[in-house]
Every structure is written in structure tokens, then in C-alpha cells.
Amino acid sequence: MGFYSRELVSWEQNNLSCIFVIPCYQKQRLGSKLIEFSYHLSNHEQIISGPERPLSPFGKLTYLSYWCRTLSRELLYGKLSTFDHVTLELISFKTGFRSEDILLTLDYMEALYEVGERFIYTDYYSNPCHKDQRFVFLEDAGYRMFIDKAKIRNWVVNRHISAESNLDPQYLLLD
């Protein structure tokens, strides 16, 4: 049906080098399952990882779909749902995603806002309330941003994203 490969020794700690799904099995979420499995392996190895770059156009769409589902699940229902303030490092630790992948995903979902002047890739709120349940304050060295949970919630509803994972970790035997 499909396969993926990864380097056992990767200087950039890539969790996936190549993914292939036979055309007759495409559109059945097999690619997402393989991606999720690669992140479970990385989590088992206790490393923050991501795919080998550059991504193909279909690879980028598949990864963005997976990252969007996973980030929305974590921010709305998971371990990060109760946080008012987060850092990229914390999101990365909880999801296993690289910081640049997190920012790319939040920007793709149009859920990232920055206080200050207009930036070409994001929208801005001039002065959002820090205690508003709609926002999560994202702060790291050199910048302050807000994650709009209402936009993420709309993303989930409009795309009929379920709260369940593709794989059940209790059935993975990783030793």
C-alpha cells in the first residue's frame, strides 16, 4: 500500500526521508498514518524532528494537513488547551514538531497574530486582551505573538477534523 524511509543517522534529525503511497491507495489517509507513525518513533527516541527538506508539493500538503490536525487537537483539547502563555519550545516539546513547522502551520491556518506593524504573512490585532480565552500568548526571544483559538476552532469545524488520532499509540510496540 505504501512505505516510508528515514536515515538512521541524520544530522538534522529528520524523522522521514521519503514517503510513497501506491496511487490506488491514495486518498485513504495512509500518508498521514505513516507521518504520524514517524512522529511516534521520534517521540519514543525523545527527539524533536520533522521531514527531510525540501518537501514536494504533495508532501507539503500532507504534512500541513497532519500538522494542522495535531496542533489544533493539542491547542483546543489536549495538553496545551489550558495554557494562557506558551513558547515555541513548549509547543515543540508537546507535539514533537520543529519550531519552523509550528510557525508555518499557524500561519497557514491564519491563526497567528502579532502586535505591532503589519507583516506580509500575518494579520494583526492592534491590542488583544491577554486574558481573553480566544487567545494564547506566544512569546519567545525577540517576538511576541498571539494564537487565535477561535480561528483554529473554525478551521476544525470547516474541515470536519475529528479529535481522534489516526493511530492508537497503545497498539504500537516500540522497544
Catalytic residues: 52
Q: How many CA atoms lie within 13 A of 43 on its CB side?
A: 15
Interatomic CA distance for residues 135 and 128, integer angstroms: 8
Q: List, in sequence order, every beta strand (DSSP E) within the chain.
A: 2-5, 14-16, 18-21, 50-51, 85-86, 112-114, 135-140, 143-148
**Which residues, in sequence order, are bridge partners of residue 140?**
143
